[in-house]
Amino acid sequence: MNLDVSLKEAILAVVTRNPAKVGGGGCPIFLAQDQEEMEKTALLLARILGGIVHDLENDVFIIVRH
């Protein structure tokens, strides 16, 4: 019997400069002060969490695992 309990196909984190655009959903939200900090934080989180960054083009990045 193989019990695979790993997390797959999920949003792992959200990075934004506008907290009014995100909320709820149970996902960690990281706030940044500017575009440069958003990009750096999103890339670091993607490396740490083993995910991929997607830019929603509305001051929101999501880190997902496919």
Q: In this predicted structure, what is the pLDDT of residue 6?
A: 65
Domain boundaries of the chain, sorted by first residue: 13-65
Does the pLDDT of residue 7 top 70, yes or no? Answer: no
How far is C-alpha 25 from the geometric centre of its chain's CA atoms? 12
What residues does 50 pair with on adjacent strands? Answer: none
Q: In this predicted structure, what is the pLDDT of residue 4?
A: 66
| The model's pTM | 0.84
- Residue 34: burial class (beta carbons within 10 Å; 0-12, 13-18, 19+): exposed
Q: Specify the 3-state DSSP secondary structure of 44.
A: helix
pLDDT band at 5 (very low <50, low <70, confident <90, very high): low
